[in-house]
Structure 1
Amino acid sequence: MIRYYIKTSRDSKLREIKNIVRGCWIYIVNPEKKEIDKMVKKLGVSRDFITDPLDENERSRIEVDGDNIFIVFRIPHYVNKKILTMPLGIIITKSYFVTVSINKNVILDDFLKEKVKGFYTTKKTRFLLQIFARVNKYYISYLHEVERMVKDIEKGLAYSFKNEKIISLLELEKILVYFNTSVISNGNVMERIFRGNIIRLYEEDQDLLEDIIIENKQAIEMINIYTNILTSSMDAYASIISNNLNVIMKFLTSVTIIISIPTMIASFYGMNVSLPFQNNSNAFLITLFLSLILSGVMAYIFRKKEWL
């Protein structure tokens, strides 16, 4: 799918247009082969600039090819109740601003819905920095979501006897690993833009990019903190689950021993040998009473040892 949008300083709203014009935003999502061929010819860029962001495993990087700048950024992506990361390709030419992605995503949706103030397709450098800022915003937002999910899992862990919750924590740890890799590689791209002469930055742009880099580093620190907390929690809760199972085993063992006493006494009186009280008319009541006393004594002992 390919759409064309434009918004200049004279426009009050983002407008969708039918044809490419100078200063427009070319919005590409999961393009077909013929659409890729069309864009390569129209933009005069390498075919890899459009196909690389369609690879889910593509890493963040920046390339310069003549007057064209190609950037791949890893962005957070929420799909089917799972938090993932995906590549977002950005191509900046003299005349156009191009975005390429496998799927629609919240980052670009915010621009389409005009949730970003001061957004103009004609201001390509500012548009790029605003995308960077939005990416940081959603990484931090999803990190808070991960924190909430951890707390929800923790609520039932204290009395859990299964490994399901530990597995859920492992899934969250995997998300943090992906986030960490993506945010660090994104930061490297930002740093290269800030230090180099790849993109012309005005003083306001430099200040904005510096703030964005600081936010990126804050996100990395948050990821490291959450990862350490999650790792410690998993170790602690693995011990809790093991301890809960030990408590259950102690309880079942104690109950088995207590129940075995009446069974053992009854089995003795089933033998064809001389036994105490065998000629007494109250032999059944005596053995029953004896079984209850012995079982009660054992239950008291186990209770004192906190096995019951």
Structure 2
Amino acid sequence: MMTVYKTDNRVLHEVEEMDPGVWIMMTNPTMEESQEVAEQYDIDMADVRAALDEEESSRIELEDGYTLILVDIPATEIRHESKNYTTIPLGILLTQECIITVCTEETPILQHFIERRVREFSTKKKMRFVYQILFRTAAMYQSTLRIIDKKRTDIEENIGGNTEDEDLVNLHELESTLVYFATSLRANGVVLERLSRYKRLEQYPEDTELLDDVIIENKQAIEMTMIYRDIINGTRELVSSVINNRLNNVMKYLTSITLVMAIPTIISGLYGMNVSGKWMPLSNTPYGFGIICLGTLIICILILLILRKKNML
């Protein structure tokens, strides 16, 4: 899908023609749409469709007549029948006439501009628009990281209750997401550093301050990712230790019960042997069976007391 927007008097509206100063938003575009944009602005087809490859890494390339900026942005996906977070590429193409964004799916980052929730936004000020996109990207990373930490907190609160293997799986998913985030944020940071050095890209003086803010927000997102990753790693070890401790307690109880139940089994086994009765104690004594049962019960009670004293029960 391809949609063309333009700001007039600070008001964004959709237009039909690709006039100078427009923003072309391409969401999972077809080959025909990609070909149309590539021919209109003399852009290499591979660069137009670069963001559609999930394996593409963040980078910036200065070509004749246009500039390609690729960054990773947060996105959601379904893994193990649950909603999780990942990163996808977002391509930004700057030409002399317009700015083009390419992504495989709709993202809240661009929806903020469509819904007119970004101040001082203009499709004609291309570099400021790029920095505003990157600022929203860093802000979305931070917002998603807070959601991830909230999920971790919910799992941690259930540790004292019904902790299951599913909690370990969920923590592993969160930790994997933070690995993706950390890698993407570092790559985005390299792109931002290069943007601050390139003089070919025309920008207004106030845009430099906005770029500095973007760099700071990106670094803060990296720090949050590392902190939350360490915390989740500690929580995962805690959950694993709790599960192992409960398993050890179950095995301890079962061992104690087996030990107690072995006493009657041994005694009844001895008296069930096919030998002469005169050699078996209490075999010819009145109430011998009751005495043996009582003695067995006393021995079991003594063992229970000993095990309880040693915290085995």
Q: TM-score, normalised by structure 1?
A: 0.93
Provide the rounded CA distance (Å) in 1 between the counterparts of 2:163 and 2:127: 54
Provide the rounded CA distance (Å) in 1 between the counterparts of 2:150 and 2:200: 40
Provide the rounded CA distance (Å) in 1 between the counterparts of 2:120 and 2:285: 102
Aligned to 2:297: 292
Aligned to 1:47: 45
SS of the residue 1:7 aligns to:
strand
Letter in 2 for 1:6: K
Deviates more, 1:196-205 or 1:206-215: 196-205
Number of aligned residues: 306
User: Aligned-pair distance for 1:199?
Assistant: 1.8
User: Aligned-pair distance for 1:285?
Assistant: 2.4
Provide the rounded CA distance (Å) in 2 between the counterparts of 1:229 and 1:79: 23
Identity %: 38
Aligned to 1:146: 148
Letter in 1 for 2:297: L
Aligned to 1:69: 67
Aligned to 2:249: 247
Per-residue CA deviations over 1:70-92 (Å, capped at 9, x if unaligned) read 10010000233110100000011
Correspondence 1:76-225 to 2 at 5 A: 76-80=74-78, 81-158=83-160, 163-225=165-227
Q: For the Cα contact (< 8 Å) 1:161–1:244, is it kept in 2?
A: no
2:235 aligned residue (233, 236, 247): 233
Q: Which runs of 5+ in 1 are unaligned?
A: none
Provide the rounded CA distance (Å) in 2 between the counterparts of 1:233 and 1:52: 38
Aligned to 2:2: 2
SS of the residue 2:4 aligns to:
strand
Provide the rounded CA distance (Å) in 2 between the counterparts of 1:88 and 1:198: 22
Aligned to 1:27: 25
SS of the residue 1:76 aligns to:
strand
Provide the rounded CA distance (Å) in 2 between the counterparts of 1:144 and 1:299: 51
Would you say 1:59 and 2:57 are equivalent positions?
Answer: yes
Q: For the Cα contact (< 8 Å) 1:159–1:241, is it kept in 2?
A: no
Letter in 2 for 1:31: P
Relative distance call for 1:245 and 1:284 in structure 2 (3 A) is same
Aligned to 1:266: 268
Q: For the Cα contact (< 8 Å) 1:5–1:26, is it kept in 2?
A: yes
SS of the residue 1:122 aligns to:
coil
Letter in 2 for 1:119: F
User: Aligned-pair distance for 1:235?
Assistant: 3.3
Per-residue CA deviations over 1:48-76 (Å, capped at 9, x if unaligned) read 22111100011111111123111001000
SS of the residue 2:158 aligns to:
helix
Provide the rounded CA distance (Å) in 2 between the counterparts of 1:194 and 1:45: 24
Letter in 1 for 2:56: E
User: Aligned-pair distance for 1:160?
Assistant: 6.6
Would you say 1:276 and 2:281 are equivalent positions?
Answer: yes
Letter in 1 for 2:220: Q
Deviates more, 1:170-179 or 1:155-164: 155-164
Q: TM-score, normalised by structure 2?
A: 0.91
Q: For the Cα contact (< 8 Å) 2:128–2:203, is it kept in 1?
A: no
Per-residue CA deviations over 1:96-126 (Å, capped at 9, x if unaligned) read 1110011111111222222222222222122
Deviates more, 1:132-141 or 1:260-269: 260-269
Provide the rounded CA distance (Å) in 2 between the counterparts of 1:5 and 1:133: 20
Per-residue CA deviations over 1:168-217 (Å, capped at 9, x if unaligned) read 22222111111011111111111111122132232211111101101111
Q: For the Cα contact (< 8 Å) 1:77–1:106, is it kept in 2?
A: no
Provide the rounded CA distance (Å) in 1 between the counterparts of 2:139 and 2:10: 26
Deviates more, 1:176-185 or 1:238-247: 238-247
Relative distance call for 1:283 and 1:247 in structure 2 (3 A) is same
